[in-house]
Chains A and B, each alone.
Chain A
Amino acid sequence: MTSRPSLYAAALLILQRDLRLAVRRPGEWLQPVAFFICVTLLFPLALDPAPERLRQLAPAALWIAALLSSVLAIDFLFREDGRDGTLEQFALSGQSFTGLVLAKTLTHWLLTGLPLAVAAPLAAVALGAPTAAIPGVLLALLLGSISLSLLGSIGAGLTLGLRRGGTLVSLIVLPLAIPALVFGAQATDLAIRSEPAAAPLYLLAALAVLGLTLAPVASAAAVRIGLE
């Protein structure tokens, strides 16, 4: 009998596998970020394009678009691995299932949350935000998107066994995402107005840490139930 690889090695392997699959199927991770850019760019067309008014609405536009994009992306997290039996093999691998689910969620964040955070400053500038606001907007979206991915993993796990779980995921995730939305929009607003945004950023970081601590356990339990 051979010794089992460490959880760290197994997690790295999942990261590598999912990144390779993403390179071969770019549509899956490009869709949410393309959706995010489209929604934010539609705002100036639907509203009075006065720069001051756009600047005021930019935080709400950015965060609602980010929230909807992350919900759109969450469908890709477990669905295919659940369908083709990969999650069953994860559950029987002898590795910590919670650890493997966290590895999958973090890879998913790298593919969907990180591109959103990178695209957000550009969208903010397009909505009239000053370039000085870019670090604040970037940081707020980086922290917020981690929470959104982790919350989404719970929703994706809970709806794994359902044929059409897309709408239900939204209904589960959107109410849970309200704190991230409130603090994120506030941090973005303060950054755009060139005011100190440390307080909401700390709260976003706290939410991300809380999510990293609790969400993998909840989503692993939900996925296990989904596999039954």
Chain B
Amino acid sequence: MLEVSGLHLWRGDRHVLKGVSLRLQAGEALQMLWPNGVGKTSLLRVVAGLLPAESGSVQWNGQSTTTHVEAFAHDLAYLGHDLALKADLTVAENLRYALGLRRAWNAGLVRTTLQQLGIDPLADRLVRQLSAGQQRRVALARLTLWDARLWLLDEPAANLDATGQAQVVAVIEQHLAVGGCVLLSTHQALPVQQGINRLWHLPQETA
């Protein structure tokens, strides 16, 4: 489904991505366990289309993501370092406005998703009143509700306690079970049991 080949990226005089290639199938999770500063976030941003690479290609379902932008966007959900949550809006409002750009609002589905992540009592709370971990769970709820097949996650378990990390794993497993695929960066491997779970230790390797 996702095929990345020969990506080269320069940031100033730093050669960040040196011919990175990877393949990701339906029901598969690929966890990047690269050391800090070697381009995990850059790779996720290049794959998402937020950062143009000097050379190489990204294909989704056999089509270039740069020429079939809309089809790729339809299948893509990206969770970066910044969670894109508005501090002065409630959890429900944040979800409403984020979801409204991509799909119809479904109050029942939103409630169920919030319950799954254990944040349904926070629905009417302003995001500024939530802890960093709770905010990350709201972002995960948004990710689930987007109904996209490819997830690109930049350290999804950061700021989460053990329960929160287990919920992240559960959400990812649920996504893999329905044929989704996940490319994520993390410092510690997440114990994903469902589907195919691969660990990628060094950017020089082809995954």
A residues in contact (CB < 8 Å) with B: 1-5, 9-10, 13-14, 16-17, 20-21, 24-25, 83-86, 88-95, 100, 227-228
- Bound-state Cα–Cα, A83 to B87, Å: 12
A13 and B84 CA atoms in complex are apart in Å by 15
**Which residues in B have their C-beta under 8 angstroms from that of A25?**
88
Query: In the bound complex, do residue B102 and residue A17 qualify as a contact, i.e. CB atoms below 8 Å apart?
Result: no
Contact indicator A89/B101 (Cβ below 8 Å): yes
Chain B residues touching A, range: 20 to 34
CB pair A84 B50 closer than 8 Å: no
B48 at the interface (CB under 8 A from A): yes
Instruction: Give the chain B neighbours of A94 by CB distance below 8 A.
Output: 69-70, 73-74, 102
Partner of B50, one of A1, A14, A21, A91: A91
Which of the 9-residue segments B75-83, B112-120, B155-163 touches chain A? B75-83
Q: Does B51 contact A (CB under 8 A)?
A: yes
C-alpha gap A90/B100 in the complex (Å): 11
B98 at the interface (CB under 8 A from A): yes
B88 CB contacts on chain A under 8 angstroms = 21, 24-25
Known A-B contacts A4-B74, A88-B50, A228-B50; the reply to A93 vs B80 at CB < 8 A is no
The reply to whether the CB of B187 lies closer than 8 angstroms to some CB of chain A is no
Closest approach, in angstroms, between the C-beta of A78 and any C-beta of chain B? 14
Answer whether residue B3 sits at the interface, using C-beta atoms and an 8 A cutoff: no
Residues on A with C-beta less than 8 A from B74 are 1, 4, 94
Partner of B100, one of A9, A24, A88: A9
Is A4 in contact with B84, judged by CB distance below 8 angstroms? no
Q: Report Cα–Cα, A86/B98, bound state, in Å.
A: 9
How far is it, in angstroms, between the C-alpha of A14 and the C-alpha of B100 when the chains are bound? 9
Cβ-defined contact, A88 with B101, below 8 A:
no
Chain A's nearest CB lies how many Å from the CB of B80? 5
- In this complex, the member of A5, A88, A92 whose beta carbon has the largest number of chain B beta carbons within 10 angstroms is A92
| CB contact between B52 and one of A24, A84, A86, A228 (< 8 Å): that residue | A228
The answer for the CA separation of A228 and B50 in the assembled complex, in Å, is: 6
Complex contacts, B48 vs chain A, CB 8 Å = 92
Q: Which residues of A contact B49 (CB under 8 A)?
A: 91-92
Q: Give the contacting residue for A88; candidates B82, B89, B103; CB below 8 A.
A: B82
Q: Can you list the 7 inter-chain pairs with the closest CB atoms, starting with the nearest?
A: A85-B82, A94-B73, A85-B84, A13-B100, A2-B103, A93-B101, A17-B97
* Given A2-B147, A85-B80, CB of A90 within 8 Å of CB of B101: yes
Cβ of B104 within 8 Å of any chain A Cβ, yes or no, is yes
